[in-house]
C-alpha cells in the first residue's frame, strides 16, 4: 500500500481507508470481520467522481449544451475509461481478494478494477477531503488536454452511438464514404454517406469529413429509432 501511496503522491492519515478501498467482498467472506469491503466506498466514489468531472466540464466549457456535457461526462466516468485508469495505476496488484477470485484472475477483471478505482476516490475524499479527490481526478481521470478530448468526444458521439447500437444487434459496423465536395476551397462542404451491410442509409454534410460523418450518423439514428430500435 505504501507503493500505491507513492504513485498517488498522497499519504493517508488513516491507512485503513486505503485498505478498505482495495478489499473485495470475497476477501471479507473468508477473513471474517478483519475489514469492511469496498462496496460502500465504491457507491460514494461514483458520486464524488461524477460531481468533480461535472464541475470541471461546466466551468471549463460554459458554451456547451447540457446534453453535450452529459455525453462527455458519461465517457470520462465510464467503466472502460476507469479500467484504463486502474491499469495505469496497477490497482489490480494491490487488491485483497478471496481464493476464488485469485484463481479466476480477479486482479485483471475490469469490474473489480473499476470498483476499486471508484472506492479509491471515496477513500481519498474521506481522508483528505474534496481537494484530495480532485487531485486524483485531475491527474488520472481527466485527459491532459481536456479541451481537445472534449471536442473529440462531442464530435464522435453520434458515430459511437450508432456503432454501439449495431453491435448490440450483432450487425457489421457502419462504413462512411465521401461522395461529394461542394463550394470553393476556403468554404468547402463535404457530403458523406453511411452504409450498413452495403446499403446506403443516410447522407450528412459538414465543413470537414468528421463533421459530415457525425451528421450522417445522427440522421441515420433519428430514422432508425422511430422503427422501434
Q: Which residues are catalytic?
A: 46, 118
Cell of 219: 440522421
Spell out the long-range contacts of 173-177 with Cβ–Cβ below 8 A and sequence spacing 24 or more. Answer: 174/201, 174/217, 174/220, 176/213, 176/216
Distances (CA, A) of 209 to 154, 162, 224: 15, 17, 22
Cell of 48: 464524488
Cell of 139: 491527474
- For 130, residues 6+ apart whose C-beta sits below 8 A from its C-beta are 48, 52
Cell of 132: 484530495
Where in 18-136 does DSSP place strands (E)?
none
What is the distance in angstroms between the CA of the first residue and the CA of the last residue of the chain?
Answer: 47
* CA count, 13 A, side-chain hemisphere, 163: 11
- For 161, residues 6+ apart whose C-beta sits below 8 A from its C-beta are 217, 221
Cell of 179: 461522395
CB 24 within 8 A of CB 112: yes
Amino acid at each position: 500500500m505504501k507503493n500505491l501511496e507513492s504513485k498517488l503522491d498522497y499519504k493517508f492519515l488513516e491507512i485503513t481507508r486505503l485498505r478498505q478501498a482495495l478489499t473485495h467482498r470475497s476477501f471479507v467472506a473468508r477473513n471474517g470481520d478483519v475489514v469492511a469491503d469496498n462496496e460502500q466506498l465504491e457507491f460514494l466514489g461514483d458520486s464524488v467522481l461524477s460531481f468533480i468531472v461535472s464541475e470541471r466540464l461546466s466551468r471549463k466549457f460554459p458554451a456547451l449544451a447540457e446534453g453535450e456535457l452529459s455525453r462527455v461526462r458519461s465517457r470520462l466516468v465510464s467503466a472502460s475509461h476507469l479500467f484504463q485508469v486502474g491499469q495505469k495505476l496497477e490497482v489490480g496488484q494491490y487488491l485483497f481478494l478471496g481464493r476464488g477470485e485469485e484463481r479466476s484472475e480477479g486482479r485483471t477483471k475490469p469490474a473489480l478494477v473499476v470498483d476499486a478505482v471508484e472506492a479509491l476516490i471515496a477513500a481519498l475524499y474521506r481522508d483528505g477531503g474534496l481537494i484530495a479527490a480532485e487531485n486524483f481526478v485531475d491527474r488520472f481521470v481527466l485527459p491532459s488536454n481536456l479541451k481537445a478530448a472534449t471536442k473529440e468526444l462531442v464530435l464522435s458521439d453520434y458515430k459511437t452511438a450508432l456503432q454501439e447500437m449495431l453491435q448490440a444487434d450483432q450487425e457489421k459496423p457502419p462504413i462512411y464514404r465521401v461522395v461529394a465536395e461542394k463550394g470553393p476551397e476556403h468554404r468547402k462542404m463535404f457530403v458523406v454517406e453511411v452504409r450498413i451491410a452495403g446499403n446506403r442509409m443516410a447522407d450528412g454534410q459538414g465543413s470537414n469529413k468528421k463533421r459530415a460523418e457525425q451528421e450522417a450518423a445522427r440522421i441515420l439514428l433519428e430514422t432508425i429509432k422511430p422503427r422501434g430500435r
